[in-house]
Structures are given as C-alpha cells and as structure tokens.
Amino acid sequence: MLSTSTTPYTQEPICQEPICLDGQGIHSAAISCLDFLDEDRCIITCSEDGSIQVRKVDTGQVVGGPWIDAGSGAVHAMAVSPNHLEVVTGSQDGRIRLWTVATGEMAGKWEQAHSLTILSVCWSPDELHIASGSEDGTAIIWDSKQGDIVGHPIRTGHPHVYAVRYSSDGETLVTSGYNNTITFWDVKTREALRFVEACHASQQVHCVIWTSYDRIFLGCSNGIVQTTANTQGKVTHLGKRTGPICAIVLSQDKFLLAAASLDNTISLWDPRTNQSVGRPLDHSNGLRCAAFARNSRLLATSGIDKNVYIWDLQALFRDVNVTDRESGPPPGTSTAGHSLIDIDASIYPAGNNTQKGSRHSDTNVVCLTSLSNLTPHV
C-alpha cells in the first residue's frame, strides 16, 4: 500500500525514469487524453489527429487498428464507462461518439448539438447518462442508450466549458470553464444551484475531480484548489503556485490524487488530508494528460510528443521515507501546515460573469525509456 509523506511540495521534483511506450507511427499529432483498459493490461489514447488507439501496457504493442471516424477532427475528450465496456469521446466537430471496447467499433454518432469543439465528457454513476461540455459554453446531458438529449442544453455562463463532472449520487453536475468559477447544477431541472469563485478573476478552472466523500479538487491556471459542494464557500490552495494544471485524476482506491501541470511536473496528494505525497515527478516538456490504472499502482501520462509514460508508483516510493497512510488522519480531515493556504471564496448568484484569460501554450517533450530504472533518484 502506498504511504503518505510529510515532505513539503516545495522540494525539487524526483527525476524518475518511467517506462516509455514509443509513439512513433501511432499518432501523427499530440495525445489529448488517455486511460487504462482490460484490467490495466492495455492503454487507450486519443489524439488531435482524430484517431484513437489501444496498446498493451507491458510491450507497447498496438491492439487492432485505430478507431477513426472520418471528419471528426481532433478528439479532445474521452471517458471510459464505469463497467469498462464502452468509451465515449468528444471531438472538434462538436459531436459525441460511442465506441465498443471489445471490437473497437463505433456504436453511435450522436447529433451535433454543440456548435464548437467538445472539451469534456463524463458518465453518470448509473451509466444511464453522459454529460458533455463544449467550447460553445454549453453543457448537455445525453441518454447513453439512445443518444438523445435529455431536457435542454445548459447555458453555463462559462465562455468555454472545460470540465463537466457528476456528484457521486448523480443528482448534481458541476461545470468549470474559461473563467474563475465552478457552477453546480440540478441535473433534473437544469437550474444553477450556486457559483463558487475558485481562484483570481484573471485565472480559469481547467479540470475538476469530485471525490466520493464530497470534496472537489480543481486544476486552475496557477495551481490546485480544494473546495466542497456545500454552501460554505471555503477554498483551500494546495502547495505552492505552479504552472496551469492541465489534468487532475483520482486513483481508484481514492487514496491518491495526481495533478499534471504545464510546468511539466506531476504532484501527488492524499485527498483526505490535502497533504503532498513524496515529491513531484519530473516530466519532460509537453505534459498534457494523465490517468490512473484501476489497480491504483500505475500512473500514465502523455502529451505533445505522442509517447505514453507509465510511472510505477510502488517503485517510486519504495526508497522514500514515508509513513503508512493508514496511520494518518481520517478521511475528510485537514492537517494544518505549510502545504495549505486557506482563503475565503465567494458564492455568487446565477448570472455571474468573470474575466477571461489564456489557458495554455504548447511545448516539447523528450522520451524516457527504461523498464528497469524505476527506482527514484533522491
């Protein structure tokens, strides 16, 4: 079992060498999103070239042909269904596509309800619905079986919608976008319940993770933020300010949170305590996306260079002086210390508008390639 460290996030990154699945000939453009399939034996990647590809984690061998639908444009969003049997994607053409994992075939291409690129998709906990968020500023809830729009599109007030996420009971949807607020929506009525200001007005909220114990983690333009779904409006900044967070993911066992930053570091956190775990991983230039394996041991990252990097977290912490996470604070509690900076957030009525800002720019990355060198360099 992984352990929790009291080491502050301000330390230098660990220059660990992950396994590299060479992207040569797999995709012709950057990888925008990825996830694990087939009991962690395979990894699926979506690319800005419009293709989707499955590879074996241990060898990098391609499994079957690419999943492609001509005319889709770049694939910017993907979500594997909770039962791992289907994959939903959102593309540049504003359309949702549903794929069957076993065959790699497209099971459905739904009507073009978004006028611009889809940037985020997610499944409801019961798998009956799929939510999508688009550059056009709308969020849409779909019937996952029929492909029909349920109710009317939500005009979120975000100039662009970067993230859509369901609560664990499926009754609330949270959206974030090209402004500094997150918005909570009643799924049945499509009414805005409240707005929470997560960061400075010049910043944006790029990505969202809603944990099962009702804590929400946000990847913002200048770091990681934790808040709650209730009306208290309390916001906590984790660690020092970083580059824009481009991906934030939660392990299957809910014990570890990983945040990928455009400053090319991956920081690891215990989401129960807001404490950093070890030191940040040092990624090469071009980091854009991340995903945990179902076994919570492996972390995959990728981006502009089209390679996939597999981090063995057990090996990473093997030689690090850490304490057993079972002896730490119970879930939902906060440990005071230098890694937390508490501020008050404001809750706004519906119709709040905030200032825009830039999201991110592209850089380059270098491939690391060793299966044996998984021990961290301290």
Each residue's pLDDT tens digit, 198-214: 988 889 999 999 987 67
Q: For position 100, what pLDDT does the model report?
A: 98
Mean pLDDT on 108-112: 95
For 72, 220, 250, 280, 301, the CA distances from 272, given in Å and listed in that order, are 40, 20, 12, 18, 23
| pLDDT of 255 strictly over 60 | yes
* pTM, full prediction: 0.81
Tokens 């460290």, located at residue? 5
Query: Is residue 10's pLDDT more than 80?
Result: no
- Which sign, positive or negative, has the C-alpha torsion 346, 352, 357, 358? positive
Q: For residues 139 and 122, what is the distance between their CA atoms, to the nearest angstrom? A: 11
3-state secondary structure of 114: coil
Nearest to 33 by CA among 21, 47, 19: 47
Q: Which residues contact 356 (CB under 8 A, 6 or more apart)?
A: 159, 178, 179, 204
Residue pLDDT, tens place only, 151-160: 999 999 999 9
pLDDT for res 315: 80
Mean pLDDT of 41-60: 96
Distance CA 183, CA 192 (A): 7
Inform me whether the pLDDT recorded for 366 exceeds 90.
no
- Asked if residues 232 and 216 have their Cβ atoms less than 8 Å apart, the reply is no
Sign of CA dihedral 37, 41, 42, 43: positive
pLDDT at 229: 81
**Residues 281, 247 contacting (CB under 8 angstroms):** no
* pLDDT attached to residue 356: 36
- Tens of pLDDT, residue by residue over 167-209, are 999 999 999 999 999 999 999 999 999 999 998 888 999 999 9
The predicted pLDDT at position 336 comes to 24
Say yes or no to pLDDT of 346 above 80: no
- What is the CA 370 to chain-centroid distance, rounded? 26
Q: Could you tell me which residues are beta bridge partners of residue 4?
A: 323
Tokens of 63: 């499994």
Q: What pLDDT score does 317 carry?
A: 74
Phi/psi at 159 (nearest 5 deg)?
A: -55, -40
**pLDDT tens profile 288-300:** 999 999 999 999 9
Distance CA 72, CA 329 (A): 47
- Which residues lie below 8 Å from residue 358, measured CB to CB, with a gap of 6+? none
**Between 129 and 236, whose confidence is greater?**
129
pLDDT for residue 114: 97
Greater confidence (244 vs 333) lies with: 244
Residues 230-244, mean pLDDT to the nearest whole number: 82
Q: Among the listed ranges 281-285, 295-299, 366-370, which one has the minimum average pLDDT value?
A: 366-370
C-alpha to C-alpha distance for 15 and 101, rounded to whole angstroms = 35
* Cα(142)–Cα(152) distance, integer angstroms: 10
What residues pair up with 259 in beta bridges, in sequence order? 248, 267
pLDDT at 237 over 50: yes
Q: 68 with 47: CB under 8 angstroms? A: no
| pLDDT over threshold 60, residue 354 | no
Q: Are the beta carbons of 119 and 131 closer than 8 angstroms?
A: no
**What mean pLDDT do residues 35-51 have?**
97
pLDDT confidence of residue 90: 98
Q: How far apart are CA 195 and CA 146, in angstroms?
A: 31
* pLDDT of 16: 62
